[in-house]
Amino acid sequence: MNSPSRPHPLMQILLLAASLLFASSSRAVEIGDLAPDFDLQTMDGTPWRLADYRGKKAVYLIFCNTWCSYCIEKTPRYTKLQEQFADRVEIIAVNTTWSDSKEEIEQFQQRFGLNYPVAMDNGEVLSKRYAVSGVPTEFIIDINGVVRYRDGVPEYIAAHIPDWVAPYSADMNPVQACLK
């Protein structure tokens, strides 16, 4: 007979399995990881899927909010990058919906003349999957779907784009890759 202070051995196994599953699903997406795929709908209703860009373009994934002063400060940069590199890098902004409404996001798009898609992360599903805890959080995902940067994206990306469309090597960090 089991003691009342200890769960049944089968229950212990189930609890352990559940905790391991939760721990692995909440691990931060890091450099060198295959970026978890996702489907979103942009503010204009267009479906957007990360897997659609694999083998075609690198993706600049930006988690942001309309009230974030640093996000606002970086918005002109994203707009300029979209103008210059849309043929090689797909930019998408994902609003975490932390205190933002659909109307606020639409007003933000109009106010700043955004030329790249914006989507809402309803229920914070994607923010949790990518372990985003602050904004902006930026990811560069290469043409093969591998995360090359988690924040720290270079200011001048033109020199780095050839690396983002090349095969990824696990023993090469982003700094080394840029020096090739």
pLDDT digits (tens, 9 = 90+) for 58-81: 999 999 999 999 999 999 999 999
Cα distance between residue 51 and residue 122, in whole Å: 20
Contact of 148 with 164, CB cutoff 8 Å: yes
Strands 137-141 and 147-150: antiparallel
Domains and CATH numbers, the chain: 30-179 (3.40.30.10)
User: CA nearest 119: which of 59, 44, 60?
Assistant: 44
Structure tokens at 30: 């890091």
Q: What is the mean pLDDT of residues 30-37?
A: 97
85-104: pLDDT as tens digits: 999 999 999 999 999 999 99
User: CA nearest 27: which of 167, 150, 180, 153?
Assistant: 150
Structure tokens at 71: 């996000």
User: CA nearest 116: which of 131, 134, 95, 100?
Assistant: 95
Task: Band the pLDDT of 54: cuts 50, 70, 90.
Answer: very high
Q: Strand runs (DSSP E) across 15-173, as ranges?
A: 39-41, 47-49, 58-64, 89-95, 118-120, 137-141, 147-150
